[in-house]
Structure 1
Amino acid sequence: MTQEAEKTDQRDVVIIGSGPAGYTAALYLARAGYQPVVLAGALTPGGQLVNTTEVENYPGFPDGILGPDLMDKMHDQAEKFGAQIEYDDVVSVDFQADDGLKHVTTDSGTTYSTRAVVVTTGAQYKKLGVPGEVEYSGRGVSYCATCDGFFFKGKPIVVIGGGDSAMEEADFLAGYGSSVTLIHRRNEFRASTIMADRVLSNDNINVIYDSIVTAVHGDDKGAQSVDLTNVVSGETSSLQASGVFVAIGSTPETAFLNGSLETDEDGYITVEHDCTRTSIPGVFAAGDVVDKVYRQAVSAAGMGCRAALDAQSYLSSISQHDSVTV
């Protein structure tokens, strides 16, 4: 934390995180008059979409839109109606303080005391950490088949992973690519039997076991091939690949919570059925920090709307007239 003097800021509601869920929650809460503050993060405000090129499956943009442009529009719309966006990281929280408020402390030294909190910090896809992965991200390297599979119609595709997510990605992409090669570092899948059988019975999917991708190569048009190493024999090879889909899991951004909210075995925040309420009254969660199934911008935005409405209902229930003065 910086050495600046600590400040205290009182709010009705604080949104931790940004992206489609955070900005949508901010829009709804701002229009309801709660003047939310959005702690959007210091380095990556806007979430994963700021690192995405063309987005063609977000409703309302028939010609597609660049990921960063979509996030800028969401940011500006929330701000227009009174949301305050702060580019700061949360370093600690206290959701059960004796004063009945929630306390959120940021890296800059500000502590927000608030009646309600919405957590929308998302999740990060696990990376391979190999040469070319970052360089060709969005230009051949992808972490979402549903988002980007369309761009690789009739082209060779590689999928990396061995769990259910990798099986689902490979099966989905088999309908687009000229071929799909599934690469797994072990000699058997971690995936469920039904998912593995579906992949193994698909004539357009080839499986390479006991192998890892060690590099992604390409040119100014994007990815072209990957280097492989067999972890048993040490043999190296190269495989043509216009699309490289990494499906080795994701990590929810919940470390700053320090166990203050209930999570599942993978670290995703658990919420009550059919709503966004967490294990702590007055704390709500939305987007990829909750959702490890769909992980789409539009579903995150929808959940952000639900979290805002749940937060509004909570705020109304605890005080009809005594709102915090900003």
Structure 2
Amino acid sequence: MSKREAFLQATVEKSVENFLHFIQLHKGGTDPFDLNELLQELTRKQKEELWERLKNLLVDTLLAQPVEKWQRMEDDSDDEMEVEHSADLKQAMAIIDGVTVVVTASIPVVDENVSYEALQESAVILNGVLRVLPKSETALQFDIQRLCEAWWEKGLEGKEELVKIAFVLRIRKSLDGKSMCSDINQLWHFHQALLTFDYSSKESTEVKDLLLQCFMSVKHVKKEEGKRFLSFLFSWNPNFIKMIHGTIKNQLQCFPQSLMVNIAEMYFRAWKKASGGILETIEHTCIQDFMHHGVHLPRNSLVHPKVRKVILSEMHHKVKRKASRY
């Protein structure tokens, strides 16, 4: 029996150990078993059968170990029941991880000639457990997040719903004190995912709060991809522009004066690309407000030099220069 046939047979509940063995072979890279190559060689019917089996395996696993029972594993517990439960949970996490690996590897081979409903169902289920995984399963959480992002990038059916949690996690990661420049780069890479959120819906409350925190982050304001991302956020909704502007004004006294050039650049980029109601809101709510405060703020105010000498001079100069071209 070829490894391809053996792998296909392993994707049933009674052959879980064999399935997990193949996943480890794929991850290890020492054995000549390449899941990506195998998937490319499968016929349309074999792909569809594989994805249906994967979905069933995932559903059976979650029925046996429902989310309600998940809790952090206690490896040092002396309770025999706890040890048994811990072993069952580890097995469930291993299966979920294996399904995640295969679903992610399957995304590149999806085309118009194959039905991928079962694959999509598995992706939706995995997306559903993304936020409730045990805290110890950080690697699995990231793998499911990447699956959802790959689904979005491929432009597959249901991408709008699958990318939402992944996008929120990207924002959180970029705001983490230990975040790196690459985290902000990735946030900008997936910036269009914001448009899948309905601004007026309750589900957008969390993302609004996180996005406003980005405007208080020096790393986001200074980095090129961060400025691109922040400027893009002005285009989401006119009401959000008012929240952005209020957040920045409240933060001015905390920002160093050297950062004002970056903030001015951010406003200018947003204004330059805006039109309609967005443009009107930026001009009336933001630019005119800065001009008003630049004139009327007391000279002994801590933010007066930041508003008048930096923001107004930078932004007014660029806006005037652009207007003179027309």
How does the TM-score come out when normalised to structure 2?
0.26
Give 1 or 2 for the bigger CA radius of gyration.
2
Larger proportion of helix: 2
